[in-house]
Amino acid sequence: MSKVITYLHSSGNTAVVIPSPNTSLSIEEVAAKSVPAGVDYTIIDEASLPNDRVFRGAWKVSGSRVVEDVAKVKEIAHGYRRQHRSALFSPYDQIIAAQVPNGNPQAAEQAREQIRANDAAVQTSINNAATVAEVRAALVGYGAI
Amino acid sequence: MADTTTTNYSYTKPEVGASSDTWGTKLNTNWDDLDTDLKTVSDSVVAKIWATITVSGGAPTITADAGVVSVTDLGVGWFAIYYDTARSDTNYSITGNVNNSGIVGFPNNATTYSEIYTYNSSGTLTDPSRLFIITAGSN
């Protein structure tokens, strides 16, 4: 099983060091060359990393695994939510802002209201989620990821 | 016939049958000059190091030549390549190419590693599906 090295980077991110497949060095020797001096690190199985990078910024080391921190996951999720809301708003924003002839601004405003309501519901779901899986489900249901 | 010299580096070629008391000194001087010239040439050799980073799933997968000891995943669109042998200086060139229309930046180059950013067309740090990096410069 492949090993990787994790440590807390000065940026606050969890860094993951992947040894080159061609290196003849041991995992400890790779750590000596790749981890900043004086920084603690952990050697773990690569298989214990999360399966995707949707919440990469929320990774943290917990024992012999890298897990996703729920509080950070929620922050990232709200970013996805806002980005998706902007995309949904975009066509209606243009109708209203440009006063497009026959653009039916009343209908556009109604559509925007519905988007706001749906977004607020997703926002609540994310805030109330107890697990990363619940956050993910809320975003998937919204079409944001 | 007097002594002559070689075409490119002007090493002394003692006249055959002459230099009875000086040919040893002349040849030793040639060896010293050759030693110096070889060292100059070897120091200027361009050493290329390459790596490919593929992002799919959790941890990136890498392929690289023997000059790379590791790749560090520092976050979305942020990686570092660590070299097996420290370069003599930071005056090396580094280029990158991503296959999903991204933009590559190099925020920090050191003798032992190079950091790489990959952006989408909007300038947001974004993971590449595949990134190819090559560095070239003196060891």
Stated length of chain A = 145
Q: Do B55 and A30 touch (CB under 8 A)?
A: no
CB A81 within 8 A of CB A139: yes
pLDDT in tens, B92-137: 888 888 876 678 999 999 999 999 999 988 888 999 999 999 998 7
Contacts of A33 in chain B (CB under 8 A): 69-70, 82, 84, 112
User: Which residue, among A33, A132, A145, would best test binding to B if mutated, counting the most B CBs under 10 Å from its CB?
Assistant: A33
**Which of A17, A50, A53 is closest, CB to CB, to B70?**
A17
Nearest CA among B1, B3, B6 for reference residue B14: B3
Query: Nearest-CA residue of chain A relative to B57?
Result: A52
Q: Which residue has the tokens 């989620």?
A: A129
Query: Nearest-CA residue of chain B relative to A66?
Result: B58
Q: Global pTM?
A: 0.80
pLDDT in tens, A88-117: 999 888 777 777 667 688 888 899 999 999
pLDDT in tens, A18-69: 999 999 999 999 999 999 999 999 999 999 999 999 999 999 999 999 999 9
Q: Which amino acid is at A36?
A: P
Which structure tokens are listed for A84?
């998706």
Instruction: Give the minimum alpha-carbon distance from A63 to chain B in angstroms, rounded to a whole number.
Output: 18
Query: Nearest-CA residue of chain B relative to A57?
Result: B75
> What ipTM is given for this predicted complex?
0.88
> Residues with Cβ < 8 Å from A8, sequence gap 6 or more?
A14, A15, A39, A40, A61
CB B74 within 8 A of CB A15: yes
Which structure tokens are listed for B53?
């980073």
pLDDT in tens, B21-37: 899 999 999 999 999 99
From chain A, which residues contact B within 8 Å (Cβ)?
4-5, 9, 11, 13, 15-23, 25, 30, 33-34, 46, 49-53, 56-57
